[in-house]
Amino acid sequence: MSIFKLAGAICVALFFASSARAEPFDDFVDHCLRTNADQQAVANSAKGDGWFALPPEVFGADADFEDPQLFISEDPAAFGDKGPPADLSMIITGWGEGENVFQISGVRLDVCVVGAQTTTANADRLRERLETLMGFPPVEYDGERLWLFSRLGEGFHSESGLVDLDDTQLPEIARRQKIYFAGVIEEDNFIGVIMAAVRPST
C-alpha cells in the first residue's frame, strides 16, 4: 500500500463523517510546508494557530504511523449532540519506516496531512495549486503523481530525477540533503494534501 493510501485510510477512519473546509491548501502551506513536515514544528504551529489536539487513543492500537497526532480546527468540547461543525478541518502527523511505507529500507518519512471530504474539495484544483506553488510538474511514482523537491530558502527545487534512481541509493542521498515530496490524496470520500520529509533512519 502506498503512502498516499495509508494516509488516506487513516484520515477516512478519523474524519467523523463531517464535511470540511473547501480548500485545505492554505492550511497545508501554513502547517506542513512551512514546518518542513517536522512533527514537533507542526504541533507547535497547529496549537499556536488555535487547533485542538485529540488524544492518541483515537488512532487505536493498529495505527499505520508511529507517534501519530491529530489536530482539529474546532474545540471538541463544544460539539454537543450535533457533532462536529460543517467547517471542521484536520491535520495528521506521524512518521513511518521506509520499508513499512514504500518498501525502501534505510529511510524514514515524517508525514503531515491536511484533509477535507470530496463533497467540499476538488482534487484537480488542489493539484493545480500545488504545481503553481512548486513551479514544476509532478512525476509518477508507484501509481501516484507527486512532487519531489528540496528547499531553497522559501522556494522549491525539483528533485524529479530521483524517481529514476535505484531505491538502495535513497538512504545515502537522504544523508547528504533534505528531500521532500508532496501530493494529493484521494481515498474513498477523502481528499487531502500530504507532505513527507525523507530522512535517514539513523
Query: Mean pLDDT across the stretch 46-67?
Result: 81
Query: What is the pLDDT at residue 67?
Result: 86
Residue 116, SS3 per DSSP? strand
Query: Mean pLDDT across the stretch 44-68?
Result: 82
Query: What is the pLDDT at residue 185?
Result: 87
Query: Mean pLDDT across the stretch 101-108?
Result: 76
pLDDT band at 137, cuts 50/70/90?
Answer: very high
Residue 115 Rama label (left phi>0; alpha psi -120 to 50; beta): beta
Query: Mean pLDDT across the stretch 180-196?
Result: 87
**Closest C-alpha among 130, 187, 182, 196 to residue 15:** 187
Query: What is the pLDDT at residue 135?
Result: 97
Residue 3 DSSP label: H
Query: What is the pLDDT at residue 19?
Result: 43
Query: What is the pLDDT at residue 133?
Result: 96
How confident is the prediction for the chain on average, in pLDDT?
Answer: 81
Look-up of cell digits 533512519: 201
pLDDT at 8 > cutoff 70: no
pLDDT band at 62, cuts 50/70/90?
Answer: low
Pairing mode, strands 90-97 and 66-72:
antiparallel
Residue 136 φ then ψ, to 5°: -155, 160
